[in-house]
Amino acid sequence: MIVTLIIVCEVGFWVLLAGGLSLRYLARMPRAGAAVLLLEPVLELVLLIATAIDLKNGAQADWKHGLAAVYIGFSVGLGHSTVTWVDQRFAHRFAGGPPPVKPPKYGMARTVHEWKTAARWILAAGVAIGLLQAATWYVGDSGDTGSLRGWQIRMLYVIGINVVIALSYTLWPKQPKPGATVEAEAERPRVYGKR
């Protein structure tokens, strides 16, 4: 049941995103589009409640419950940036918005970009670790929580990998090839359309 609900939540996320952006840009109904987009966190809430009920009803804590916690964590940490990424491309393609913002390629701007990306992944993994710990406490001594602990270790790997990647850009910043022209690159949001 939990795996099916995770799949339903993922499909629901993309359906709500497409519907919200279609209302915003194609139907020119920005408030209705925003209202649809605000329904997305409800999906994670439903998954969280369903997982808690499943554990409360005596289900053995296993990889499915861990996956649900990880899915919720990643929705919290990466959901907003995913919506923003799709929004920019949708607005450009269907509403005459400016081209999507490209990440900087070189120097300190690229380093800052990599640390911001790492921070989103660290937030996602941190929320997942917190939810997994809450599930472990919820199950208590009455069940095996080894699978939940395994997911926590995987999330620590996610944090470590992202820190190493961002740190590598700090220690060895990417530089343009000699003689190449470098465009002025600033990671700033572009404003377009009614929000």
What is the reported pLDDT for 182? Answer: 55
Side-chain-side CA neighbours of 151 within 13 Å: the count stands at: 29
Say if CB 125 and CB 73 are below 8 A apart. yes
Q: Is the pLDDT of residue 72 over 80?
A: yes
> Taking all residues of the chain, what is their mean pLDDT, rounded to a whole number?
89
What are the tens digits of pLDDT across the range 137-178? 988 877 788 999 999 999 999 999 999 999 999 999 988 888
Domain edges within the chain: 2-171
Share of the chain above pLDDT 70, in %: 92
Longest dimension (CA), the chain: 66
CA angle 84-90-93, nearest 5°?
A: 140
Six token digits for residue 167: 């740190």
pLDDT tens per residue, range 95-135: 999 999 899 999 999 999 999 999 999 999 999 999 999 99
pLDDT-derived band at 189 (thresholds 50, 70, 90) equals very low
